[in-house]
Amino acid sequence: MNNENMLSTVREKAQAWIDGPIDETSRKAIRRMMAENEAELVESFYKDLEFGTGGLRGIMGVGTNRMNIYTVGMATQGLCNYLLKQFKGKSRISVAVAHDCRNNSPLFAEITAQICTANGIKAYLFEGLRPTPELSFAIRHLGCQSGVVVTASHNPKEYNGYKVYWEDGGQIIQPHDENIIREVQRIRSIGEIKFDGDKNEIIKLGEEMDALYIEEVAKQSLNPELIKAHSDVKIVYTPIHGTGVKLVPRALKRMGFKNIYHVPEQDVVDGNFPTVVSPNPEESAALDLALKKADEVGADLVMATDPDADRVGIAIRDDHGKLILINGNQTASMLTYYLLSQWSERGKLTGREYIVKTVVTTELIAEMARHYRVEYDDVLTGFKFIADVIRRNEGKKTFIGGGEESYGFMIGDFVRDKDAISSCCIIAELAAWARSQGKSMYDVLMDIHMKFSFYLESLINVVRKGKSGAEEIQQMMAGFRKNPPAILNNSRVLMIHDYQEQVTTDRISGKRTGITLPRSNVLQFLLEDGSKISVRPSGTEPKIKFYFSVHDKLEKREDYERVHSLLEERILNLKKELGLV
């Protein structure tokens, strides 16, 4: 479609909205764009905001390609239509709804609940902002058939999102995701949305659900006696203006920790995230205020959760007493080591236990699983796939924990999505456990490197915004498939995993074998020296991600700096050869 035809189509779509049953404020905004800003009009209407395999995520504003009450309404009406078909004959279908701190999140959540009631579906709505993992817990506890959380996770303040869950408490997967997408696509006009639900029929959830959830979190403790002995571990926690503000400190206190320090400026619930550029615990700047507070009070540990409190970033003190940031792979490795070692020491490993990680997460976790003779699964990126493994193993095997490199981890199966609340509690318990042995958390990390192998990972995000950016990302992936690298950093590429084509290619023998995981636009290159490079477009942001993983032996602690430098150099060379630096 050329630019002239696209603009004509965009204007037709915009005019249809103006002529439709929308509010006057939205109507004026569209008219302004049509008269003054064609570029903004195109970005707002050139496509429909895609209801993807997890739901919606986009910039807030007016238009078919924006998050607003109408795109949320279409998504909800499509979900309701599918639920009514899927559970036909059930006396009452129910949906739980939660929201984060973002601008418009309470509005979008309430409209979602209203549309459910207008369709004869019972709606449970949290009375205020709540963490995503609590929504997952509530679905299971209440016996709901589905759930919705309004959140854009760690995206910038301009974004909002809408994630859909199924009755097992996990995010929707096949076939439900594709079936819901089809139902949403069948809705052709705003007039088909049933907005007229009765607010009085919405059942509010509050303190009672919080208490039940916190008790389940507390049950995940493996060493409550050590917490009693080391309850004075100093912890600085920040919710970065988000939903963890009440429940993380409450859960830590329930576990027995006494010295919890807040960052007052970031305890303020605010969808504009005034103290940070991005409310993302993966970014060091988001923890600046917490690190400052930690140095003021002499804290041992810093923890920061993202706006919907499903991911956590941490900082610990090194050998010199300096606070250092720990990345998602390191946090997941430390949690996995703690869980597996404690299950082993207590004689709880019977051969029926397992852990799960994603394909782009550190292979150090796989090494640990093999060491403790615990089964592990590799799944595609996204906790919905971890939840699916748990669902399939229900009643047959015991899930210990699982995680991904992007700062998400889940302990136990009472929740079926990544859970920063329980993760914060077990991270703090890990700190108490280390202290009981006269060690720091940094010592534990060094122990892991020496016991298994020294893995070092790095991530580069290449951002390409808008329509042209999406096309460029597609071209990059196509280029890697058509002309994959043969040698990188003087090491041969031995194996290529193409999860979209569902084929693994042995570059030496030419043998091709099938991949049983679902299709996903991911490529992995495995090198002769043990390096792993993964490439995938983000499913929620306008970027393509490059994951690098290298490893080597660390025989003794004194060699740490030398080995670390060698691994950093290896990663830098890989980035250079791929033209990323």
CATH code, domain carrying 286: 3.40.120.10
Whether residues 261 and 296 share a domain: the answer is yes
Return all residues near 482 (Cβ < 8 A) that are at least 6 apart.
none
**Contact 409/306 with Cβ under 8 angstroms?**
no
Q: Which two tokens stand for residue 476?
A: 């990059």
Looking at the structure, do residues 437 and 485 belong to the same domain, yes or no?
Answer: no
- Would strands 55-59 and 146-150 be described as parallel, antiparallel, or unpaired? unpaired
Domain endpoint, select from 178, 205, 232? 205
Residues 63 and 193 grouped into a single domain: yes
pLDDT of residue 467: 73
- Tell me whether residue 15 is in a domain: no
Phi-psi category of residue 105: left, alpha or beta, with phi > 0 → left and psi -120 to 50 → alpha: alpha
Alpha helices in 309-382 (DSSP H): 328-345, 364-371
Please give the backbone phi and psi of residue 63, each rounded to the nearest 5 degrees, phi first: 130, 165
The pLDDT score that the predictor gives to residue 3 is 73
Domain that holds residue 349: 223-451
Of 173, 122, 185, the C-alpha closest to 416 is: 173
Q: What is the dihedral of CA 408, 473, 489, 530, to 10 degrees?
A: 40
Task: Compute the CA torsion angle 447, 560, 300, 402 (nearest 10 deg).
Answer: -50
Residue 2: per-residue pLDDT: 60
pLDDT at 542: 81
Q: Is residue 34 part of a domain?
A: no
Does residue 520 have an active-site annotation?
A: no
Provide the β-strand partners of residue 178: none
Which residues of the chain register pLDDT less than 50? none
**pLDDT value at position 469?**
83
- Which candidate, 326, 333, 282, places its Cα nearest to that of 460? 282
Could you give the number of structural domains in the chain? 3
Asked if residue 173 and residue 258 are part of one domain, the reply reads: no
Residue 471: the pLDDT is 86
What is the separation of C-alpha 10 from the centre of its chain, rounded to a whole number of angstroms?
Answer: 33
pLDDT, position 5: 83
- Stretch (H or E) spanning 246: helix 244-255
**What is the structure's pLDDT at 10?**
94
Q: Which residues pair with 65 in a beta bridge?
A: none
Whether 151 and 102 have beta carbons less than 8 Å apart is answered as yes
Mark whether 487 and 438 lie in a shared domain. Answer: no
579 alpha-carbon distance from chain centroid: 28
Q: Which tokens in the block code for residue 331?
A: 């946090």
C-alpha to C-alpha distance for 264 and 250, rounded to whole angstroms: 16
Domain annotation covers residue 61: yes
Number of H helices, E strands in the chain: 19, 23
| Chosen domain end from 205, 235, 270 | 205
| Residue 30 near residue 17 (C-beta atoms within 8 A) | yes
Residue 236, domain member (yes or no): yes
Whether residue 41 is contained in a domain is answered as no
3-class SS of residue 291: helix
Kindly state whether residues 493 and 400 are assigned to the same domain.
no
**462 in the same domain as 347:** no
CATH number at residue 507: 3.30.310
Contact 260, 290 (CB under 8 A): no
Amino acid code (one letter) for 77: Q
Q: What pLDDT does residue 111 have?
A: 98
Residue pair 274/236 in contact (Cβ under 8 Å)? The answer is no
Say if residue 466 is in the same domain as residue 441: no
Residue 184: inside a domain, yes or no?
Answer: yes
Among residues 279, 304, 288, the alpha carbon closest in space to that of 100 is found at: 279
Are residue 181 and residue 236 in the same domain, yes or no? no
Catalytic residue among 153, 422, 423, 440: 153
Q: What is the pTM of this model?
A: 0.94
| 314 domain-assigned | yes
Give the pLDDT of residue 52. Answer: 75
Length of the chain: 581
User: 518: which DSSP letter?
Assistant: P
Q: Are residues 256 and 403 in the same domain?
A: yes
Q: Are residues 447 and 467 in the same domain?
A: no
Q: What is the DSSP secondary structure assignment for residue 309, as one 8-state letter? A: S
Q: How many C-beta neighbours within 10 Å does residue 398 have?
A: 17
Which strand (E) or helix (H) includes residue 326?
A: strand 323-326
Residues 94 and 173 in one domain: yes
Instruction: State residue 538's pLDDT score.
Output: 84
Last residue of a domain, one of 156, 172, 205: 205
User: Is the residue at 211 inside a domain?
Assistant: no
- The answer to whether 340 and 222 have CB atoms below 8 angstroms apart is no
Residues 264 and 7: their CA atoms lie apart, in Å, by 48
